[in-house]
């Protein structure tokens, strides 16, 4: 049995570059996107005692996170908690907490529309606008520290934002006050093997992960593509004589991030070195950066909610602030790019942290074992 079952994203709708479309068939444009494939569908049980069991992963979760607390206090809370009579609660790793994300959510800038978590089972607050927070200021931290530093040397902890559907690194301490930042934490227990990969090099250009039951392309092909082109490339690939390759969804691709690695500390992408990853120059022309990789998952955000798709940054999650190119989100972050654009116009910079938008991203193929 897999020790790391990946929960599906919940996506059922099909999208073009700009709109919801009818279900696609093989050989049609945009076939192979998230909704084309059904994985382990989300399934939860409310235990009636303040806990929720994920029936796919076997993890048991705290239903109500309570108030925001510091990183250190989260560990104290978990170690001393007797919620529902259990004493083995812990602060979840990033892969554990990301297992709860659903890409049926939608956000418009800082305003919540539909949350990226099942609110039938989980209590998920919004940011408190009455004290100056934005609705999206309700991030859930993990126990996973960033192996490098973000911004101007900030010690950083990874978290998932279930309001806007992203992973990024957040400063452990306020850069202004130096006080410990406070975030939400959702305690977890059970299945201590969750998130641990078991890679095997098949010596044929493929890597099998026996933990998740997925086979991966060992080396990306070094070609940057828009989203539609990436879907087509994946669907038509016959790597190592297999003809059932696809573009991975957001949660599948995140499963192979190695958060113990980063360009800053290991001079490598945030992925096990059993994989080969093309090195690229950053937007300033400096070497040592690694591509963003497309997923098959549409990310509904903004005025035009169907025009972006999820990527995972295996290199630094860079942004340009005050004309300085910085690692603002951390290697292994999950963001989104426009699905299409004029190639010569990119990279561009977007949002309050000047996120680098490449639009023409890379692909790592996946198939089921």
Q: Tens-of-pLDDT digits for all 369 residues of the chain?
A: 578 999 999 999 999 999 999 999 999 999 999 999 999 999 999 999 999 999 999 999 999 999 999 999 999 999 999 999 999 999 999 999 999 999 999 999 999 999 999 999 999 999 999 999 999 999 999 999 999 999 999 999 999 999 999 999 999 999 999 999 999 999 999 999 999 999 999 999 999 999 999 999 999 999 999 999 999 999 999 999 999 999 999 999 999 999 999 999 999 999 999 999 999 999 999 999 999 999 999 999 999 999 999 999 999 999 999 999 999 999 999 999 999 999 999 999 999 999 999 999 999 999 999
Q: How far apart are CA 63 and CA 52, in angstroms?
A: 6
Adjacency order of strands within the sheet including 44-46: 44-46, 51-54, 60-62, 188-189
Q: How far apart are CA 335 and CA 297, in angstroms?
A: 11
Q: How far apart are CA 47 and CA 58, in angstroms?
A: 13
Q: Which of 312, 291, 279, 265 is CA-nearest to residue 148? A: 265
226, 360 contact by CB (below 8 A)? yes
DSSP code for 33: S
What does the pLDDT read at residue 1? Answer: 53
């Amino acid at each position: 049995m897999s020790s790391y079952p990946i929960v599906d994203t919940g996506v059922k709708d099909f999208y073009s570059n700009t709109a919801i479309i009818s279900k696609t068939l093989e050989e049609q444009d945009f076939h192979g996107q998230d909704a084309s494939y059904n994985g382990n569908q989300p399934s939860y049980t409310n235990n009636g005692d303040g806990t929720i069991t994920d029936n796919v992963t076997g993890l048991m979760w705290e239903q109500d996170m309570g108030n925001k607390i510091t990183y250190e206090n989260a560990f104290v809370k978990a170690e001393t908690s007797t919620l529902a009579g259990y004493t083995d609660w812990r602060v979840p790793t990033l892969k554990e907490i990301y297992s709860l994300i659903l890409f049926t959510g939608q956000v418009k800038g800082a305003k919540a529309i539909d949350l990226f978590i099942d609110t039938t089972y989980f209590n998920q607050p919004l940011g408190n606008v009455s004290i100056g927070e934005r609705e999206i200021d309700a991030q859930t931290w993990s126990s996973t520290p960033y192996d490098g530093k973000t911004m101007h040397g900030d010690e950083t902890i990874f978290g998932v934002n279930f309001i806007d559907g992203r992973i990024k690194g957040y400063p452990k301490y306020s850069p202004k006050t130096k006080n410990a930042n406070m975030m939400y934490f959702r305690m977890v227990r059970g299945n201590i093997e969750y998130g641990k990969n078991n890679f095997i090099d098949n010596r044929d250009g493929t890597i099998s992960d026996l933990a998740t039951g997925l086979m991966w392309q060992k080396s990306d092909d070094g070609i940057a593509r828009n989203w539609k082109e990436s879907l087509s490339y994946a669907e038509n690939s016959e790597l190592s004589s297999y003809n059932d390759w696809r573009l991975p969804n957001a949660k599948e691709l995140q499963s192979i991030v190695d958060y113990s690695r980063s360009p800053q500390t290991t001079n490598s992408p945030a992925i096990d070195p059993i994989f080969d990853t093309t090195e690229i120059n950053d937007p300033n022309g400096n070497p040592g950066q690694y591509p963003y990789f497309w997923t098959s998952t549409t990310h509904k955000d903004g005025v035009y909610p169907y025009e972006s798709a999820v990527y995972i940054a295996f290199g630094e999650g860079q942004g340009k602030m005050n004309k300085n190119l910085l690692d603002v989100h951390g290697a292994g972050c999950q963001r989104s790019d426009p699905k299409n654009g004029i190639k010569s116009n990119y990279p561009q910079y977007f949002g309050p942290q000047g996120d680098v938008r490449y639009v023409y991203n890379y692909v790592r193929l996946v198939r089921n074992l």
